Amino acid sequence: MSFAQDLAQATAPLRRQIHDMPFNRELAEGSLDRETFQGYIIQDAHYLEGFARALALAAAKAPDAPTVAQLAGSAAGAIAVERELHAHYMGLFGVSAEDFARIEPSAACDHYVSFLLRSAAIGDFSEAVAALLPCFWIYRDIGREIAQVSGAENPYAAWIATYSGEAFDQSVTRMLELTDRLGAIADAPVRALMHRAFARSCWHEWRFWDSAYRGESWQQPAA
């Protein structure tokens, strides 16, 4: 069993729950409420900027030039997705740049981004890679699963095509290979850190979608 497979096995119940969430089931059916998806896309745009920054921070710690190039390229790719896919839907929904700027990151988005930035800035390089992996891997697996049951008439077909497509699959494969290389040479304490970081990011993935579906943001104390 590869190290990435070991990570997957340890988090299998949570990962399955993510696939079965109402947000993803309804997205696959094309029945997801338009306002719910709009709120998700706005938060995802905020998230991907932070994700790209975390990738860039991790790239600066990479042990060799090919790995620097890989992570820096993924950071650039995350920004490209934000500009293209999100611009498509924000244009469709009539969300202007000014509207977007007025909407703050949700609590779930802020919490996830903060965790990734902290992992990349002060964590071990291997720990940072493990923390960044779920966003690649979970999105690819969900994109593939949804693509098998969804047609071109689905209003969210552009999202589905992005995350089930070959270009994204290649970036995920490279990230899995990097994780396996790091896991193979890591000692037991570092592998434990990688497991914890990966599991925590899987939880954040669940929380991000759950928050988007429920329309949650920052809980305020009672007056």
Summarize pLDDT for 155-165 with one digit per residue, the tens. Answer: 999 999 999 99
Q: DSSP labels for 8-22?
A: HHHTHHHHHHHHTSH
Give yes or no for a contact between 90 and 41, defined as CB atoms under 8 angstroms apart. yes
Give yes or no for a contact between 131 and 112, defined as CB atoms under 8 angstroms apart. no
Would you put residue 75 in left (φ > 0), alpha (ψ -120 to 50) or beta?
alpha
Mean of the pLDDT values across residues 87-104? 82
CATH classification code of 11-214: 1.20.910.10
Structure tokens belonging to residue 105: 């990151």
d(CA 166, CA 75): 18
Summarize pLDDT for 99-147 with one digit per residue, the tens. Answer: 888 899 999 999 999 999 999 999 999 999 999 999 999 999 999 999 9
C-alpha gyration radius of the chain = 17
Give yes or no for a contact between 170 and 70, defined as CB atoms under 8 angstroms apart. no
- pLDDT of 82 strictly over 80: no
- Count Cα neighbours of 188 within 13 Å in the Cβ-side half-sphere: 0
> pTM, whole model, 2 decimals?
0.94
Give yes or no for a contact between 152 and 161, defined as CB atoms under 8 angstroms apart. no
Q: Which pLDDT value is given to residue 220?
A: 78
Domain coordinates in residue numbering, the chain: 11-214
- pLDDT of 49 strictly over 80: yes
Summarize pLDDT for 167-186 with one digit per residue, the tens. Answer: 999 999 999 999 999 999 99
